[in-house]
Amino acid sequence: MNGGDEVVAAPVDPPQPLEWKFSQVFGERTAGEEVQEVDIISAIEFDKTGDHLATGDRGGRVVLFERTDTKDHGGSRRDLERLDYPISRHPEFRYKTEFQSHEPEFDYLKSLEIEEKINKIRWCQTANGALFLLSTNDKTIKFWKVQEKKIKKISDMNLDSSKAVGNCSVASSSNSLSPRPYLANGGCPDRSYSSLSNELSFPPGGIPSLRLPMVASHETSLVARCRRVYAHAHDYHINSISNNSDGETFISADDLRINLWNLEISNQSFNIVDVKPANMEDLTEVITSAEFHPSHCNMLGYSSSKGSIRLIDLRQSALCDSHAKLFEEPEPAGTRSFFTEIIASISDIKFGKDGRYILSRDYMTLKLWDINMDSGPVSTFQVHEYLRPKLCDLYENDSIFDKFECCLSGDGLRVATGSYSNLFRVFGSSPGSTEATTLEASKNPMRRQVQAPSRPSRSLSSSLTRVVRRGAESPGVDANGNSFDFTTKLLHLAWHPSEKSIACAAANSLYMYYA
- Which helix (H) or strand (E) segment holds residue 311: the answer is strand 309-313
Which pLDDT score, from 0 to 100, does residue 241 have?
98
Q: How far apart are CA 407 and CA 492, in angstroms?
A: 9
pTM surpassing 0.95? no
| pLDDT given for residue 170 in this prediction | 39
Q: Rounded to an integer, what distance in angstroms lies between the CA atom of residue 475 and that of residue 499?
A: 37
CA atoms within 13 A on the CB side of 478: 25
Half-sphere exposure of 75 (CA within 13 A, CB side): 13
Task: Give the DSSP per-residue string, 326-393.
Answer: EE-PPPPTT---TTHHHHH---EEEE-TTSSEEEEE-SSEEEEEETT--SS-SEEEES-GGGGGGHHH
Alpha carbon distance 186, 182 (integer Å) = 6
One digit per residue, pLDDT tens: the chain, 515 residues? 444 555 555 557 788 999 999 999 999 988 778 999 999 999 999 999 999 999 999 999 999 999 998 765 555 555 555 555 445 568 899 999 999 999 999 988 888 899 999 999 999 999 999 999 999 999 999 999 999 988 777 767 665 555 444 444 434 444 444 444 544 444 445 555 555 455 556 666 666 666 777 777 777 889 999 999 999 999 999 999 999 999 999 999 999 999 999 999 999 999 999 999 999 999 999 999 999 999 999 999 999 999 999 999 998 765 555 578 999 998 887 788 999 999 999 999 999 999 999 999 999 999 999 999 988 999 999 999 999 999 999 999 999 999 999 999 999 999 999 999 999 999 999 999 999 999 999 999 887 654 444 444 443 333 322 332 223 333 455 555 556 788 899 999 999 999 999 999 999 999 999 99
SS3 at position 211: coil
Q: Tell me if 302 sits within 8 A of 360, measured CB to CB.
A: no
Q: Which long-range contacts (CB under 8 A, 24 or more apart) does 205-212 make?
A: 208/159, 208/163, 208/167, 209/159, 209/164, 209/167, 209/168, 209/171, 210/158, 210/159, 211/157, 211/158, 211/159, 211/164, 212/157, 212/158, 212/159
* Strands in 363-506 per DSSP E: 365-370, 379-382, 406-408, 414-418, 423-428, 436-440, 493-495, 501-506
Q: Read out DSSP for 233-286?
A: --SS---EEEE-TTSSEEEEE-SSEEEEEETTEEEEEEEEEE---SSGGG----
Name the residue type at position 371. Answer: I
Do the Cβ atoms of 269 and 232 come closer than 8 Å? no
Residues 6+ apart with CB under 8 A from 439: 20, 423, 424, 425, 426, 445, 446, 448, 449, 513
d(CA 58, CA 368): 30
What pLDDT does 481 receive?
Answer: 54
